[in-house]
Structures are given as structure tokens and as C-alpha cells.
Amino acid sequence: MAELRFDGRTAVVTGAGGNPSLGRSHALLLAQRGANVVVNDIGRTAAPGYAGTASAHAVVGEIRRAGGKAVADTNSVATEEGAAALIDTAIDAFGRVDVLVNNAGVSIAAAFDEMTAHDIRQHIDINLMGTIWTCRAVWPHMKANGYGRIVNTGSGAFAGAPLLVAYSASKGGVFSFTRALAGEGAEYGIKVNSLNPGAFTRMVAAQQDESSPMYQMAQASLPPELVAPVAAFLSHESCRANGDTINGAGGLVNRVYLAETGGFSENPLTIETVAERWAEVIDGTPDNAVPVAAHDPREWNVKPYDASARA
């Protein structure tokens, strides 16, 4: 197979500073394959020993020393203004944006009733709204070009993870947002997918004790470099996936999809009937579970809201 390249393309990667980090690995690989790269990172300290070892400017330096083209950006995607400024950086430097990899994120492990309002807000503002704001800022440029690839970073926690309630909620939002936006982008040549990564990063390091088996396993078996090729393929013009969620961890690559059980149907319906037939409702065995296709939001026919009707 011919090498997949990004010559002439411009990619924006958020949360791309730090080492080890997914964003850095994404940025380095895209640049290695010919893309102009905007390396975005606010330089936040995420874990002792791992923060500050490679800021956005340092990653840009790595790319340039290897012969690639890159510029740094330190705007926060957590605000609409910051996300717009980030995309402006890309347009000013390279004249266009073809690829957006939304990798910036935060994760704070804590019991739900012990989390502060600030902690909860951070998850929503960075993980979810940061993804939405950057997509919104780049959208008109991609529509005008008739082309775009967007990769949003999700997580297996979208299905719910104890002690990561706010993080799970934010990633559940990313999952739904990606599927919905994919339906809007199709007619403009814009493909939108999400990537659930599994890798040893600054964020993972901050949540584990260095002596723990989990820490040591992740450090040895889950390098970010084994996730970057998945993000890169989803960013490539040859990728036809749209609205999908892909897992990438330690070399494993597979697709996540929603499914429904066969359940039952009765009319009239009583509380007692629901109780008596509950086993049918929750039976998720392969013979009784089917992918959710009929309700795929990418295929919904929704009439656009008339903004003029607000008055």
C-alpha cells in the first residue's frame, strides 16, 4: 500500500504539548507525513515529572528540526474566543485548515459528592465545550473548502466510570456531538469521527501511583505512539468513516457501536407486565442485540430551525 501522506494539508492538534502525550504523538506523526501542524497547548502542569517537559513551542521545535512545518498556539479551547483565536493562528500561518484533532482534555478522579463545582465545570468546559468551540470555529472554513477531517477525543468512560462521573459525562457528550455533527458535515465533504484512546500520558500518570501495577503496565504497554496512527488515518482524505467511534490502545483498533435489545411490545402496557418481562428488556446476548441503525442521527431528516422566527 502506498504511504498515506498529508502534503499540502494543515492540521490543528489541541493539547499537543507535554511528554508523554497523545497530542504530541499525533502532531509529530502528521508532520512527519507532510502536514503543516498547529501545535496547541496551554502548558498546564498535569503530573510531577511529566509537565513542562515539552510545551507547544518545544514540540514545534521537534517538528522543525525533523524538517517539518509547525507553529505553536497557547490559546485555551475552553472559551469560544480562545478556540476562534486558535483557528485564526492556523489561517494566518498556513491559509487553511484541513484537519482538526481535538485532543485537549482534563480528568480528575474523585467521588461525585467530593468534587468541587470548579472540578465539574472544568470537565465540561475543556473536554466537551472545548471540542464544540473548536469545531464551531473551523466549520465555516471547512465548509468553504468543501473538505475537512475532524477527530474528537472520546473515552471508553462515555459508558460510565465510577470516580470519573464528570469526565464520563463530558465524554458522553463528545460521543453524541460527534455523531450529530457528522450528519451535518457529510454534504460538505467533512468527516467527523471520535477516537477513544488508551495510552500512558501526563493525565494517566497524574492519577496513578508510580509503584502501582496499573501505572507500570500502562507505561510499558500503552505508548501514545500506538494510538497516533489511528488518529492519523481518521484525519486522512482516504478515510470514509463518518460519525464513528474507534478504540485505539496498545495496537488494538476496533469500532464502538450502539445496540438495542429485542425487548418486547404490548399495548396496553402495565407496570406489572414491564416487571414480569424485564428479563427480555435487558437481555443483551448477541442473538438478541442489534446495532442501532434505524435511529442513526446521521440519517435523520430534520428541518433546520428558522432563526428569523425568534423575533
Q: What is the pLDDT of residues 80-104, one digit of tens each?
A: 999 999 999 999 999 999 999 999 9
pLDDT at 295: 46
All residues at 6 or more sequence positions from 197 whose CB lies less than 8 Å from its CB, including other chains: 22, 153, 155, 224, 227, 230, 231, 248, 249
The pTM of this model reads 0.88
Higher-confidence position of 221 and 233: 233
pLDDT for residue 219 is more than 70? no
pLDDT at 53 over 50: no
pLDDT of residue 158: 80
Among candidate residues 147, 167, 188, 215, the one labeled active-site is 167
**Which of 2-16, 41-55, 215-229, 296-310 comes out lowest in average pLDDT?**
296-310
pLDDT band at residue 222 under the 50/70/90 scheme? confident
Q: Taking 70 as the threshold, does the pLDDT of residue 305 lie above it?
A: no
Cell reading at 172 = 458522553
Look at phi and psi of residue 9 and say left if phi exceeds 0, alpha if psi is from -120 to 50, else beta. Answer: beta
Q: Which domains does the chain have, with CATH numbers?
A: 10-256 (3.40.50.720), 259-310 (no CATH)
- Cis peptide upstream of residue 213 (ω within 30 degrees of 0): no
Reported as a pLDDT band with limits 50, 70 and 90, residue 287 is confident
Residue 167 annotated in active site: yes
